Amino acid sequence: MSRELSRTSLAAAAETTVTALAIAGDDAAYGELVRRRQGQIRSLLRRLCRDASLADDLSQQTFLQAWRRLPTLESPAAFGAWLRKVAVSIWLQHVRSHSERAQEAAPEPAYEPLVGARLDLDRALLQLPEDARLCVVLAYSEGMSHREIAAATAMPLGTVKSHIARGAARLRDLLCAYA
Amino acid sequence: MPESDAHLTRLFAETRHVLSAEEFVANVTQRIARERRRGTVRKVLIAGVLAGVAVAATPYVTEGSLAIGDRLAGGVPAVAAAATSSPIGWVCAIAIAVWALRRARATTGR
């Protein structure tokens, strides 16, 4: 395998190959990984954030952090799941460091009925507490199992299950109210 | 999975954001390049500081090692000193060093 592949070849290469090249220090290969995975990570963080520019900034931090830690990635095949964990970790760091300020500036939205207002899924998600929102998004948007979510968020398994059950029920209520 | 959960899963999939990649990729690439430059500058600074410390410490280290050498040389008989500076002395010293290395390897190998 040549150390450097052209951009066209990179775009056509399997993700494990591109990841292996990126681990070996190929910046073009890492750029290709960013191109492939940016949609997933930005979408995940937009579900969790209140604003798109913050979500994009956190997504950039995710890719930067992943680039720093890339040599520690043992299996190139695990890149997607590993990157998602990095994103969750970046989000949790952000929530912890901004929780006090956020509570003062913009209190957690109360469970108000939003009948009559335009209620899409993203707005409904914002009605959930942050931990519950994180668990629901990881479960339903990313398809992660309860155990994987517990491992990624460092929450106890029981708490994860409870957040998902309550969060999903709350989402269904909000979406039904809108319908 | 209950039907309502399947409904939520489908809803999440259908409403996934479609986002343009180019500007985002360019921003990430810029941040990585900046990080790499910072790393290089940090390495150069650390190497410079270490080199400065080494240069500053060299006279003291040299002086100390010469003093120790002088003190040790006082205890070595003149014949032994002459032997080590002869070709035969060198060969013997190498043989002793090889023997000592093999012994050390055998000890750690166990």
Cβ pair A34:B24 closer than 8 A: yes
pLDDT at A104 over 70: no
Grade residue B2 by pLDDT with cuts at 50, 70 and 90. Answer: very low
**Average pLDDT over every residue of A103-124:** 53
pLDDT at A1 over 50: no
Q: Which residue has the tokens 């963080």?
A: A45
pLDDT of residue A133: 92
Contact residues, A window 102-141, toward B, CB-based 8 Å cutoff: 120-122, 137, 140-141
pLDDT of residue B65: 82
- With residues binned 3-state (H G I as helix, E B as strand, rest as coil), the percentages for chain B, rounded to 5, are 85, 0, 15
Q: Which residues in chain A have Cβ-Cβ distances shorter than 8 Å to B5?
A: 140, 168
Cβ pair A59:B9 closer than 8 A: no
Model confidence over B27-69: pLDDT tens digits?
999 999 999 999 999 999 999 999 999 999 998 988 888 888 7
* Nearest CA distance, A113 vs chain B (angstrom): 19
Model confidence over A65-101: pLDDT tens digits?
999 999 999 899 999 999 999 999 999 999 888 775 6
* Pick from A27, A63, A140: CB nearest B8: A140
Which of B4, B27, B32 to probe the A interface (max A CBs under 10 A)? B32
Residue A64 forms contact with B (CB below 8 Å): yes
Model confidence over B60-97: pLDDT tens digits?
988 888 888 787 777 777 777 776 677 888 888 889 99
Model confidence over B19-28: pLDDT tens digits?
778 889 999 9
The pTM of this model reads 0.68
Residue A59 forms contact with B (CB below 8 Å): yes
**Average pLDDT over every residue of A114-126:** 63
Average pLDDT of chain A?
84
Residues A21, A5: Cα–Cα separation, whole Å: 9
* Pick from B5, B8, B32: CB nearest A27: B32
Range with the poorest average pLDDT among A58-62, A128-132, B18-22: B18-22
